[in-house]
Chain A
Amino acid sequence: MEHTEPAVQIFDRALLPKRLMGDEELAHTICTMFIEDTPQQLSAIEQALEQGDLVEVGKLAHRLKGAAANLTAVRVQQIAHEMERAGNAGHSSLLVNLLPQLQQAFSKLKVEMGKE
């Protein structure tokens, strides 16, 4: 079902420049920053999950959620939010399922952001 979702659900490209008062260049810089930073955050989440530190997973997911929300990266934001809740609730099997979804959503987002 995720294969058929419209692009806007992955990333609303018009919104960030609008928030930045039309500053396209800054929007681009911030998107690049997000794309460069996120893989580290994803591996940190993975590592914390392997170590069973679910509280840390929750915190990291919370931060990623905030970053994604700023870019209106809807899917990443949603999954990160679910992971934050699962982490805080100590729900490790759910987290194990959600992590690949998050990684996949980020890959799609990267592709979508790469399109000019």
Chain B
Amino acid sequence: MTLNILIAEDDSVSRHILTAIVSKWGYNPIAVADGRAAWELMQQEDPPQLALLDWEMPEMDGLEVCRRIREENPFSPPYIIILTGRTDTVDIVRGLDAGANDYVSKPFKNDELHARIRTGKRMVDLQNELVAAKNALAHAATHDPLTGIFNRAGILDRLDAEMERARRAGSRIAIALCDIDHFKQVNDTYGHQAGDAVLRCFATGIKNALRPYDAVGRFGGEEFLVIAPDCHETEARGLFERLRSRVEEQTTSTNAGIVSITVSMGVVINSGTTAVDFLLATADKALYQAKNGGRNQVVFAAV
């Protein structure tokens, strides 16, 4: 993809020369005539990742644009090269301190500017790779690779956030620990590949049955945690009973044949004020009761 380069320069001759040269070098120049226009452009979605800013400009100078961008601290900040006739060390230091990455004195020499833009592009490319890697890591750290839903860490983060929200809003939150019944038998009878298919199908089925603001994560082997914010007991009884019967009715086609499963659930409802560990332990007790009571059922903890 062609790199977009913002050019902010008030003198029209310099602006035209810069635009022409940058375009001949194979980049995509976007030219503006003052600092305010540059700043506004940088606020837009998907802004240029490299900027050539003249220092002295009307409305807002290049240094102020730098400062504002650094202050804003965007997730993926642009690489900024300040262009100026100033060559005193004190000015160079001021420019870099304002947040410029590099500094080219005017009138610039083509070869030097080109090299500095190439340097900038290397940094931008590296930054893009880092951002992509960071996003991928963040996703991997919070998601289960088999089912694609949250993993334990991901759903617990979400639980913390939803508890906080419930506390602030004074609302109720329902959480359910769900455990697939006799899952070991599925693995033993149909093999692990079929077991994996059942887990995927179960996770997708639950996810599709939830409201948009609910969440589900894989808590451990065949155990899942469902969070339903803003949910009173009547509503929760309806929701989890619906989930249970859906699982019972659903079948999974695997390479070893069609598999049916059931699920047991332990539900607890809270106002966001109880410690998460205690809440999970309570849900776990209710789940244990559901298992003991014959499985394929939902038990609400008395809190």
Contact = CB atoms under 8 A, between A and B. Distances in A.
Q: Do A and B bind each other?
A: yes
Nearest to A22: B24
Contacts of B24: 20-21, 23
Given A21-B24, A59-B56, A65 B85 contact: yes
Interface in B95-147: 106-107, 110
A67 B54 CA distance: 12
A67 B87 CA distance: 17
A75 interface: no
A21 B17 CA distance: 11
Contacts of A72: 107
B16 interface: yes
B12 interface: yes
Given A19-B110, A65-B85, A70 B12 contact: no
Interface in A55-80: 59, 62-67, 69-72
Of the listed residues A23, A59, A63, A72, the one surrounded by the most CB atoms of chain B closer than 10 A to its CB is A63
A20 B107 CA distance: 14
Interface residues of A, number: 21
Interface stretch (A1-9, A30-38, A99-107): A30-38
B3 interface: no
A64 B30 CA distance: 22
A64 B14 CA distance: 10
A26 interface: yes
B90 interface: no
A19 B109 CA distance: 8
B10 interface: yes
Nearest to A77: B107
A29 B19 CA distance: 13
A72 B110 CA distance: 14
B21 interface: yes
B12 A37 contact: yes
Contacts of B16: 29-30, 33
Interface string B20-63: 11001000000000000000000000000000001010100000
B20 A23 contact: yes
A71 B11 CA distance: 12
B11 A66 contact: yes
B21 A67 contact: no
Contacts of A30: 13, 16-17, 20
A33 B85 contact: no
A66 B58 CA distance: 14
B29 to A, nearest CB: 14
Contacts of A64: 11
B56 A67 contact: no
A80 B287 CA distance: 84
B190 to A, nearest CB: 68
A70 B17 contact: yes
Contacts of A63: 10-11, 56
Interface of A: 19-21, 23, 26, 29-30, 33-34, 37, 59, 62-67, 69-72
Interface of B: 10-14, 16-17, 20-21, 24, 54, 56, 58, 85, 106-107, 110
- The 10 closest A-B CB pairs, nearest first, are A67-B13, A69-B107, A67-B11, A66-B11, A63-B11, A34-B13, A70-B14, A66-B14, A70-B17, A21-B24
7 contacts: A20-B20, A30-B17, A30-B20, A62-B85, A66-B54, A67-B12, A70-B17
